[in-house]
Structure 1
Amino acid sequence: MAVYVVGDFLRETRLRKGYTQEEVSYGICTPASLSRIENGAQKPGRLILEKLFERLGTENNLFNSFVSKEEMELYLEIQTLIRNVTDGDLQRIEEQIDIVDRLTKNTSELERQSLFWAKGELATQKYGNNGKAMEYLMKAIQITLPDFDGKNPLRNHLLTFDEITIINSIAVRHAENTSLLTAIQLDMWLKEYMENRVVDGRMKTAKYPMILYNLSCWFGSEHCHKEALDIANQGVDFCVKYGNLVAFPRLILNQGIASVELGQIDNAKKYLHQAVTIFETMKRMDTVEYITTWCRNEYQIEI
């Protein structure tokens, strides 16, 4: 039986996928450092190891990285910050930002990438300041992708999961500033990247459906309803296959909205009923009220 150490696995995976050391290490470490890691001459830290695996389209599920007490504390606090942002708990986001900010004062910029992303999300969620949010998001993404201008995809670059999250947030900010074509361009880049470069895993299951949801919304806003329906269908199929229940009802709702716009009323009623039922089960009665009122006022459809 072959026995792998982390350097062997990184090298063989990289070569099998046809990536250069420069592509995989870009913005994370130097190519020389990656070479030493692959040859067993350098032990990577937790974060660098994690990001290198992500650039290879997977998660670090096989290899443990021994870390200090301080590194573990920082890792746990960053994970808490990410959860708080996802939950939209503004008070906890602010409190956690202060904690992570303090813990990363003397670390590398790489350790602060999630912090800047969280500051950008807070600037939007609490203060509605998209300009400030974009400043933080660009500061975050350019730590590892210094060539990215916030608008034009870097299709030849490999991405980490954090980079995908940040670019998606940048796309959302563009959409909120009515730059829908830029938002669509960015999330289509992410959609194609995740389809072609990222293997099935926990992070893909979490992020990919939300990118499809955004795209189906934005195509609909641009009156490209067939494209919106096709992407919503794709998202629903993925959620069913991989069990993402967060994006699932939203994508079904978008199936209904696109079907209405295309004049497919019977299908629209089916999808809208399904979405309402799921939101009722989730006790999201505000959303149920919004959907039923919208259907009644805009299309004279009773749900």
Structure 2
Amino acid sequence: MELEVGRKIRDLRKYYGMTQEELAEGICTQASISKIEKNDETYISAQILYLISQRLGVSIEYFFNDNEVLNISYVNEVCEQFSELIANKDYEEAYEMVKLEKNNPMFSTKRHLKKFLLWREALCINYLYGKKSEAIEMINEALLLSETTEKNYSLEDLNIMTSKAILLGELENWEESLNLYINILEHIKKIPFQKDRLTLINIYYNASRSAIKVNDYDQALLFCNKGILVCKQEKTFFLLGHLNYQKAECLINLNKQDKKMPLQFYKKALALFEGAEQEKYIDIVKEKINQLSPITK
């Protein structure tokens, strides 16, 4: 088992172009990293392995086979509850949990858990009280607690950055939001052990939206196409209607003479919105189709 762990640590370190000294900084000695990677270290403490995993931007489970992963602890369960509440937009209950766990030493004394709480608290105060600027400051504080280096980000770091990009959009700082999405997408393709492809679809959707807001329709179209491709690969309808709608918006702005191509994607978006019974968007798309249809007859 130690041999497999050492190999994975070495391979991931080299993947990020990280030296043994950079990986070891603040965790252990460079000599210890060398021994771990060569399987000369007879015992690796759970604490050191955890810190190494954080530095490399992966969960500790990355180093083990599924049947060797420890049972989910109280902390894991709480984090999963937070994620579920946020996903369901139940910010009131999530905020109550944040306030409770902030006093829990298991969260307040560990950087990665403190980072997680700051991120969740930022989302809660934004959507409950509209404190967007304060929420962004809180997210920046959370990112400062990251254990990764300048050469890599963890998937959680990128999710936190995505939350910041969304907030910047809500403040209509579209240029800054777009630049952040581009940075996120440059790094997300480097993330190993990534299972959550819906996160990638969400990023492409929001990135295309920011690009549209700054009239960069070529960039927006590229994001739409990539998002639609991931939807097809994953066989999911998640945000597919929105991506097709935004693709139509890009096409009509890139070539105002060609009405047939955007009409095709408006109709795809309409079918998806109708299938999902998303009444809010159905009327908007129907109006777009009505505007174009007479021209194409």
Deviations 1:72-108 (A, max 9, x none): 0111111110122122122332233244334445531
Given candidates 191, 194, 209, the residue that maps to 1:198 is: 191
* Cα distance in 1 for residues equivalent to 2:165 and 2:24: 25
Q: Return the offset for 1:62.
A: 2.5
Unaligned runs of 5+ in 1: 147-153
* Cα distance in 1 for residues equivalent to 2:63 and 2:274: 37
Q: Report the CA distance shift for 1:105/1:193 in structure 2 as closer, same or farther (over 3 A).
A: closer
Q: Does the CA-based 8 Å contact 1:209-1:238 persist in structure 2?
A: yes
Normalised TM-score (structure 1): 0.79
* Cα distance in 2 for residues equivalent to 1:81 and 1:47: 22
* Cα distance in 2 for residues equivalent to 1:253 and 1:40: 57
* Cα distance in 1 for residues equivalent to 2:64 and 2:275: 34
CA-atom RMSD, angstroms? 3.2
* Cα distance in 1 for residues equivalent to 2:122 and 2:29: 33
* Cα distance in 2 for residues equivalent to 1:75 and 1:200: 18
Structure 2 equivalent of residue 259 of structure 1? 251
1:72-221 correspondence runs (5 A): 72-103=73-104, 104-144=106-146, 156-195=150-189, 197-199=190-192, 201-203=194-196, 205-221=197-213
User: In the alignment, residue 255 of structure 1 is paired with which amino acid?
Assistant: K
Aligned length: 283
Unaligned runs of 5+ in 2: none
SS at match of 1:42: coil
Structure 2 equivalent of residue 150 of structure 1? none
Structure 1 equivalent of residue 215 of structure 2? 223
Indicate whether 1:13 and 2:6 are aligned: no
* Cα distance in 1 for residues equivalent to 2:62 and 2:272: 31
Q: Return the offset for 1:19.
A: 2.5
Give me the identity figure in percent.
15
* Cα distance in 2 for residues equivalent to 1:272 and 1:60: 45
Structure 2 equivalent of residue 30 of structure 1? 27
Structure 2 equivalent of residue 287 of structure 1? 281
SS at match of 1:124: helix
Q: Does the CA-based 8 Å contact 1:59-1:201 persist in structure 2?
A: no
Q: Does the CA-based 8 Å contact 1:219-1:227 persist in structure 2?
A: yes
Q: Does the CA-based 8 Å contact 2:240-2:272 persist in structure 1?
A: no
Q: Does the CA-based 8 Å contact 1:255-1:268 persist in structure 2?
A: yes
- Bigger Cα Rg: 2
Normalised TM-score (structure 2): 0.81
Given candidates 46, 51, 59, the residue that maps to 1:44 is: 46
Q: Return the offset for 1:199.
A: 4.0
Q: Report the CA distance shift for 1:106/1:88 in structure 2 as closer, same or farther (over 3 A).
A: closer
User: In the alignment, residue 146 of structure 2 is paired with which amino acid?
Assistant: T
User: In the alignment, residue 27 of structure 2 is paired with which amino acid?
Assistant: T
Q: Report the CA distance shift for 1:10/1:213 in structure 2 as closer, same or farther (over 3 A).
A: same
Q: Report the CA distance shift for 1:91/1:222 in structure 2 as closer, same or farther (over 3 A).
A: same
Given candidates 265, 268, 291, the residue that maps to 1:300 is: 291
Q: Report the CA distance shift for 1:51/1:279 in structure 2 as closer, same or farther (over 3 A).
A: farther
